[in-house]
Amino acid sequence: MLDDHDRTRLEYAAIYIKETGQSALSDSAGHYRIEGLCDGIYTVRVSHLGCDDLLQSVRIKGSTNMDFHPEHHTEDLQTVYIAASRIADRTTQTTVLLDKQELERSRGLTLGESLHEISGVTTLNTGNSIAKPVIHGLHSNRILVLNNGIRQESQQWGSEHAPEIDPFIASRLGVVKGAAGVRYGPDAIAGVVIAEPAPLPDSAGVGGEVNMVGATNGRSGTVSGTVEGNHAVLPALSWRLQGTLKKSGYVRALDYYLKNTGFVEADFSGALGWEKERYGAELYYSQFNTTLGIFSGAHIGNLTDLQIAFDSETPLDTCGFSYAIDRPYQQIRHDLLKANAWVSTGTAGKLSVVFARQYNLRNEYDKHLPLNDSLAGLNRPQLLYEIISYTTDVMWEHRAVGGFTGSIGVSGLWQANATEGRLFIPNFENDRYGAFLIERFKQPTYELELGIRYDAQHFSAYRWIYTNGDYLLTNPQRDFSNLSGTAGFIWKADSSLTLSFNAGTAWRAPSVAELYSSGLHHGAAAVEFGDPNLRTEKAFNTILNVQYRKGSNFQAEATFYCNPIRDFIYLRPELPPTLTIRGAFPTFYYRQTDALLSGIDVSAQYRPWRKMSVTGRGSLLRARNVRDNEWLVMMPADRVELEVDFLPTARPRVRENVVGIVAQYVVEQTRVPANSDFVAPPPAYLLFHLEASTTLQWNRQQLVVGLSVRNLLNSSYRDYLDRFRYYTDAMGRNIVLRLRMPLAFTKAEKN
Amino acid sequence: MKNNVFLLLSVIAVLVISSCKKDVDHPSHPSNEGEVITTLRLTFVDSANTSDVRVAEFRDPDGPGGIAYDRFDTIRLARNSTYYTQVLLLNETVTPADTISNEVLQESDEHLLCYTPGGISATVVVTDIDSNNLPIGLRSSWYTTGAGNGTMLVVLKHQPGTKNGNCSTGETDVEVGFPVAVN
């Protein structure tokens, strides 16, 4: 509840909903809460001493955050500003979504990098173009990526296989921290990454936006556009088209270009929705295409080459700038087709069905063509993976009954994976079925949540084995099943303090690489052997989140977690090395142990003056291999970040001005197991970044301008979780300019 | 409006159908796939007695990974002798075996074999040269002096654009350290 003139918070304003007769009073900070409303349009009356009553029609869809701005003076009652935005249902797990400013800043980055402003989230990089999100130290098959609500199915097991999602599709980008097996199904051992488009427009008009991003390092350019609409003649129908083009050349470290680090990307998506009061349906299709060069200095033949690369200060293979993409490179395509429908089951609830088909094609081209000319002439990828996945989810959500809300559902996955080229992982088919029930008991000051889920999975591989002088096709089959549970509690002490606690389990079946890989891991200079008898990995995660907000100038959040994982699958180096025709390679076996990951994420924001804001973030992680009493390898180092923002006064044409400087300090990772890596972790580093943004307004047109300078001092550094740290420094200074222009082709209809 | 919808739907349908499905339960035979070097065979001919032919071989029948090597010979040579040595590289996962060393010869300006003796009194002189007068190493002469045991490291480097006559650049295609016994 804000005063329309000076935005002071209005205490004791009465909010009354005409249709239901519900009412609430705003507290001392101007906050209010009305619960138990169904989706729909309501008439709201806001009364406050000294104000005229404000009568407003309001559309509620899910949890809705609504600011009211009653006029304090009757004499200038002309405009009433209403802002409404949908917020996520509060989960008992810790959910962190990028706020508006963070989302703006992330534009142009890959999905993995976009999330780096969330404490506890880091990235596992393979150079500049491949970034996998890491939540609380875990990544790949241990986190689930939801692409428009659909679990992303691709070759997640590979550490150089980044999520195939265009972040421009998403208006909600964030993570759920902690095991979330019941709600989202297997694999959500460490958390969930959420990339979700905005809901389709629900009022008549055609609009859109254009994004343009240019960056100096790599001389990259990105253009992304969206058009969406809804028409008064057919209000049920709405649509959206979106597309992104991206191109980058070789990036530069402090002193040299990294050869063959360019990439191109072309993505598009389309959505069509039909929504009535009692039913609705939506069709969505997206395609992601990229061709990305792999830094050629990192493609090595054996340990001797690796040693030469380590010993060299700068990469052996340097060059000038180019956009050319040569071998080695990857070519990836991901298609998602999603159809969903819902129908209101009277006052009892809502039934929804979601069907999705995903197609993922990954071609990996080695540095060199085959020596054999006829093979070389085909120019085939040395590795090809094609995976097709169908998923279906049926869910029924029931409305509040005596304080209880909940949902029950079933889901199915059918998947087939085909490979060609060098033998690394076999073909397989994978079927999985699951059923879950989650119930929540809501009271004004607390909420309780309990959930249970059962999944069963059948996995069938088609695997060549070399025996007695020839290859033999075998068909090993495995069945996995598991029960998961969740229990959560939220306590809203008052409008400034909220506590949420969750204890949840999640599991995952061993991945195909963990079961059956048997060969030289190209580029990793290691021979890796899977174990066909691995058991499922089970996580039991407890997470406590404390949010505190004092007035409008201080807010803080802390997350404490403890994630013991039974039968944690990891690569253990073992003797003797494997002797091959390319020399001796260190040999790694997939083994299981019990792991314990625990840590703290904190963030706090303080606004000492109106024109200044200070934000601090930090994360700390301790990851133990309990059975062997040693540290786990490849865990992100502890880090802190401090950001100081200046907020110059808004003017009519220049609004939302921010100029900030970010200092990021990452300590050296000293908690590593002995004899498990080729070189010691790199030293600690301190980076500075500059961030500035503003919104320009002329007439009705807006232009959001952002400028970032990453690695302001052009420091040379290497990060422990960058797989290319063996060969090269990380990227040097990068100046990024972002433009975003919202478009309105027809004037939106006024209510 | 309706036409637009149908257009969009048909575009989506075409895109979905165009992503074809491969045969999952009948994967193609691995020997049809790619290229592996399974065998490095050194053949030594005594310059003083050409009927004295010796062979030393390293063989990993399915290439790196999978099953282990099944042949790893010791190079046995006589002291104070000169041997004419030839290198044969094979891919024995296919029938008939593919002679990879022929391909190396064809791209000789991108390849180099280096020989590094360890603990034995023997020297190796490469006797073949590429179009740029740089050594190749598929043919060489080995000169032994005193008796003794040691090793000989045989390295094949792929050096497109960077070949300069030594083995410090490029990517390693083959690296085998043979035990050597000079009697």
Residue to mutate among A355, A529, A581, A587, with most B CBs inside 10 A, is A581
Answer whether A303's CB lies under 8 Å from A586's CB: yes
Which residues in B lie closer than 8 A to residue A528 (C-beta atoms)? 65
Best-predicted range by mean pLDDT (A37-46, A72-81, A93-102): A93-102
The whole-angstrom distance between A416's CA and the closest CA on chain B is: 7
Say yes or no for a CB contact (<8 Å) between A579 and B31.
Answer: no
DSSP calls for A15-28: EEETTT--EEE--T
Q: What is the pLDDT of residues A98-116, one digit of tens each?
A: 988 899 999 989 999 999 8
Q: What is the pLDDT of residue A383?
A: 87
Range 468-527 of A in CB contact (< 8 A) with B: 469, 471, 473, 475, 518-520, 527
Over residues A718-727, mean pLDDT: 89
Q: What is the pLDDT of residues B102-152, one digit of tens each?
A: 999 999 999 999 999 998 888 999 999 999 999 999 999 999 998 999 999
Q: What is the pLDDT of residue A21?
A: 67
Q: What is the pLDDT of residues A366-375, one digit of tens each?
A: 887 777 777 7
Which residues in B lie closer than 8 A to residue A305 (C-beta atoms)? 171-172
The whole-angstrom distance between A524's CA and the closest CA on chain B is: 13
Q: Model's pTM, two decimal places?
A: 0.85
For residue A86, name the pLDDT band (cuts at 50, 70, 90).
Answer: very low
- How many distinct helices (H) and strands (E) make up chain A? 6, 39
Over residues B1-8, mean pLDDT: 56
Q: What is the pLDDT of residues A40-53, one digit of tens each?
A: 677 777 777 666 67
The whole-angstrom distance between B49's CA and the closest CA on chain A is: 31
Nearest-angstrom CA–CA distance, A396 and A739? 42
Helix (H, G, I), strand (E, B) or coil at A438: strand
Say yes or no for a CB contact (<8 Å) between B64 and A386.
Answer: no
Q: Which two tokens stand for residue A166?
A: 């265009």
Q: Which two tokens stand for residue A141?
A: 């098959």
Over residues A147-159, mean pLDDT: 91
The conformation of residue B164, written as its DSSP 8-state character, comes to -
For residue B14, name the pLDDT band (cuts at 50, 70, 90).
Answer: low
Residue to mutate among A580, A590, A727, with most B CBs inside 10 A, is A580
Answer whether A221's CB lies under 8 Å from A747's CB: no
Q: What is the pLDDT of residue B96?
A: 87
Nearest-by-Cβ selection for B100 from A371, A467, A580? A371
Residue to mutate among A260, A306, A371, with most B CBs inside 10 A, is A371
Say yes or no for a CB contact (<8 Å) between B67 and A469.
Answer: no
Q: What is the pLDDT of residue A16?
A: 76
Q: What is the pLDDT of residue B86?
A: 96
Say yes or no for a CB contact (<8 Å) between A464 and B27.
Answer: yes
Q: What is the pLDDT of residue A77?
A: 45
Distances (CA, A) of B173 to A305, A378, B14, B40, B105: 10, 21, 43, 11, 14
Nearest-angstrom CA–CA distance, A224 and A107? 10
Q: Return the residue of B nearest to A586 by Cα.
A: B65
Which residues in B lie closer than 8 A to residue A308 (C-beta atoms)? 168
Q: What is the pLDDT of residues A379-413, one digit of tens each?
A: 888 889 999 999 999 999 998 888 899 999 999 99
Distances (CA, A) of A176 to A167, A196, B130: 17, 13, 60
φ, ψ for residue A377, nearest 5 deg: -60, -30
Nearest-by-Cβ selection for B171 from A335, A367, A475? A367
Q: Of residues A398 and B1, which shows the higher confidence score?
A: A398
Q: Calculate what percentage of chain A has a pLDDT beyond 90.
A: 60
Q: Return the residue of A nearest to B41 by Cα.
A: A581
Burial A157-173 (b: 16+ CB within 10 A, else e): bbbbbbbbbbbbbbbbb
Q: What is the pLDDT of residue A720?
A: 94
Q: What is the pLDDT of residue A748?
A: 46
Helix (H, G, I), strand (E, B) or coil at A415: strand
| pLDDT of residue A167 exceeding 70 | yes
Nearest-angstrom CA–CA distance, A385 and A416? 11
Q: What is the pLDDT of residue A75?
A: 40
The whole-angstrom distance between A305's CA and the closest CA on chain B is: 7
Question: Does residue A235 sit at the B interface (CB-CB below 8 Å)?
Answer: no
Helix (H, G, I), strand (E, B) or coil at B32: helix
Q: Mean pLDDT over all residues of chain B?
A: 86
| pLDDT of residue A213 exceeding 80 | yes
Q: Which two tokens stand for residue A583?
A: 């020399």
Over residues A448-463, mean pLDDT: 95
Which ipTM value was assigned to this complex? Answer: 0.85
Which residues in B lie closer than 8 A to residue A524 (C-beta atoms)? none
Answer whether A600's CB lies under 8 Å from A622's CB: no
| pLDDT of residue B53 exceeding 50 | yes
Range 586-625 of A in CB contact (< 8 A) with B: none
| pLDDT of residue A81 exceeding 50 | no
The whole-angstrom distance between A630's CA and the closest CA on chain B is: 28
Say yes or no for a CB contact (<8 Å) between A585 and B62.
Answer: no
Nearest-angstrom CA–CA distance, A133 and A160? 11
Nearest-by-Cβ selection for A270 from B8, B172, B173? B8
Which residues in B lie closer than 8 A to residue A525 (C-beta atoms)? none
Which residues in A lie closer than 8 A to residue B166 (C-beta atoms)? none
Give the torsion sign (CA, A145, A149, A153, A155): negative
Which residues in B lie closer than 8 A to residue A582 (C-beta atoms)? 64, 172-175
Which residues in B lie closer than 8 A to residue A578 (C-beta atoms)? 64-65, 68
DSSP calls for A379-401: T--SEEEEEEEEEEEEEEEEEEE
Range 169-188 of A in CB contact (< 8 A) with B: none
Over residues A679-691, mean pLDDT: 94
